[in-house]
Amino acid sequence: MDSQILIVILGAALAGFVQGLSGFGFSITAMSLWAWTLDPRLAAALAVVGGFSGQLLAALTVRRGFDPRRLAPFLLGGLAGVPLGVWLLPRLDVAQFKTVLGATLVIVCPLMILVDRLPRVTHGGRIADAVSGGVGGLMGGIGGFSGVVPSLWCTLRGYPKDTQRSVVQNFNLAMLAVTFATYLATGIVRESHASMLALVVPAMVLPSLLGARLYRRLGDKDYRQLVLALLTASGVALLAAGLPALVMR
């Protein structure tokens, strides 16, 4: 089997499991493998397709805690952020972006894990939620990273497990759908990508279902710790991909 095909399949399977378990994280998990060998635009397209497929599957299998009023400001902010992220994608210094985001996650998330009881952030209301969604939408347009900031924000809000999962899951589903449609309209996804795109969905289905099954066994505190640990691991992966490229310049 071609090594590139194997990497695409392994990345999709691992990312599908993480997304099924946590409700987010497909793109960053997959990118930790794909960023080393795939063209950035192809990797972004694969991440968006895989993430969207996984969220669609999760929406059919994990449907607790849905609250459209709570979700609405995240969606409105996200819809404003996606076009900006898509516009930035071909213009962005990817190494700097990954390094800054990775360093932030590696510093902040372990500190949050060490605090047994995080103080809830109650100020800001719907405007703050919309800003969180806007940043998530921008990052989704850049490469499917839409769930990182909303996941961190929902954790700071102190949402129960099912509420947080529902917000992030449905937010990601909407943002990834819009992002993929925009990728198609702007030519980021090309016909030459079709063979690789066809590998992603079959590879992530079973791992995603397994992750969703394990999610149901987690308590609220366990889920919060899991989300923060995954965000920390995501930060390490981003640093590993971005920092060497900056150092070698």
Q: What is the pLDDT of residues 215-224, one digit of tens each?
A: 888 887 788 7
Domain count, the chain: 1
What's the rounded mean pLDDT across residues 67-90? 89
Q: In the numeric block, which tokens belong to residue 193?
A: 């990508």
Whether residue 6 has pLDDT greater than 80: yes
DSSP code, position 92: S
pLDDT category of residue 96 using cuts at 50, 70 and 90: confident
Q: What is the pLDDT of residues 168-212, one digit of tens each?
A: 888 988 888 888 888 888 877 777 778 888 899 899 999 998 988
Q: Mean pLDDT of all residues in the chain?
A: 83
- Left (φ > 0), alpha (ψ -120 to 50) or beta: where does 229 sit? alpha
Percent with pLDDT over 70 in the chain: 96
- The owner of tokens 């360093």 is 103
- The owner of tokens 């071609």 is 2
Whether residue 146 has pLDDT greater than 70: yes
For residue 34, what is the enclosing H or E element?
A: helix 26-34
Cα–Cα nearest to 157, from 103, 114, 220, 215: 220
pLDDT for the residue 115? 61
Domain, as residue range, for 56: 3-247
Whether residue 227 has pLDDT greater than 60: yes
Q: In the numeric block, which tokens belong to residue 114?
A: 């060490």
pTM for the whole structure: 0.74
CA gap 230, 23 in Å, rounded: 11
